[in-house]
Amino acid sequence: MALDLSFKQLIDAAEDGGATIGQPTCIAIDRIDEDPDQPRRSFDEQKLEELAESVRQHGVLQPIVLRQATEEGRYVIVMGARRYRAARRAGLRDIPAFIHAVGSADRYVQMIENIQRDDLNAPEIAAFVAGRLEQGDSQADISRKLGKPRDWVSRYASVQSMPEFLRSKLAGSSIRAVYELYQAWREQPNAVETLCAAQESFTDAHARQLARKLRTEVCGSPANGEGAPGGQSPRSPVSTRASLRLLESDRVTAIAEKSSNSSVDRNARMSE
């Protein structure tokens, strides 16, 4: 997920800028508050403890970024919530920080930093995209400001429209895989729900294969749902389970063929 840009370029990409005032200074940790509206919602406890141990030994090497709060003498985190939490856990009394030049947080700057660090999960990114759309930004605006392709934004924008059983798959599957299933669900809702109930996670390739198979069933079904007497509807659980078994069989066969071909190629090279 990391962007191929320097952090300075990422900051420059944000609409309102991310300038800071002067040199970093040490700010007392008990005068700092976290931003309740920051994109990041979850913190990995093990990684946080590892960072805290590093801070105990080496200190905070990269200053965090703060803005002045409405209450005099207090600050709110713009960037660096993990470093702040690790510093508190490590027992530090103060932390090096830049003071942000503007009075309010730039949501895009916060989002870009988290994306660059690969710190956000899919639901957090989806919530950010949904929030910006509600604020009136277009998908093109979000794409430009984050330096991401339009289809990347579209996939995350679609999460808010997904049924809960699909959103739950984001815990173990990529956004691309879940988006493929979502597109198929719009045509074959019952079939996709049955498939998701039978499998915890999906790879990108497997999700594409399943979606393609379900679309083929829709295109190949008689008009108005009138099939041959006694035939199964493409949306029936029986048909879906049969499709799943067939796809799994095809996947196993493909793996076996690839392994066999690799062995043949290796033997051929050895005989040269």
Q: Per-residue pLDDT tens for 81-105? A: 889 999 999 999 999 998 876 555 5
| Span 26-76, pLDDT tens digits | 999 999 998 877 766 677 788 888 889 889 988 888 888 888 888 888 999
Domain 7-116: top CATH class: alpha beta
Report the side by side order of strands in the sheet with 94-100.
Answer: 20-28, 94-100, 64-68, 75-79, 32-33
**Closest by CA position to 113, among listed 100, 130, 94, 95:** 100
pLDDT digits (tens, 9 = 90+) for 201-221: 999 999 999 988 888 876 655
Domain ranges of the chain: 7-116, 163-221+233-272
* Average confidence (pLDDT) over 138-163: 91
**Does pLDDT of 115 surpass 80?**
no
User: CB under 8 Å to 69, separation ≥6 — which residues?
Assistant: 33, 75, 76
Return the structure tokens found at 62.
Answer: 């990269």
CA 155 to chain centre: 10
